[in-house]
Amino acid sequence: MKNIFLKTTGLIMTGLVIANLFVFISGIVISDEINNFEQKTDNLHKINLTLEKEAANLGSIKFALSQAKEFGFTNSTAPQYIDQLKFAYR
């Protein structure tokens, strides 16, 4: 009886050690994947910031002025309003 109990206990301990190793190794693999995803999201965040800056520059008044000067639109005119008689009747 004592011999069977020791063998059973040894088998259970061996099984638990193997299960523990499996859980430990799978945790390491998952942490490596998490690190890869974090690096990819950091790179995407940096790319997104540069694209946002580029979009802001393209939509800015400074960009419009530089493009206007490049194409020869340097003369400014007075703004026209809709409430003037020649544009609309009240």
State pLDDT tens for residues 33-79: 999 999 999 999 999 999 999 888 787 788 788 888 888 776 666 66
Give dist(CA 69, CA 31) in Å, integer. Answer: 54
Residue 25 token pair: 């190794």
> Which is more confidently placed, 11 or 61?
11
pTM of the complete model beyond 0.85:
no
Amino acid, res. 90: R
Give dist(CA 56, CA 53) in Å, integer. Answer: 5
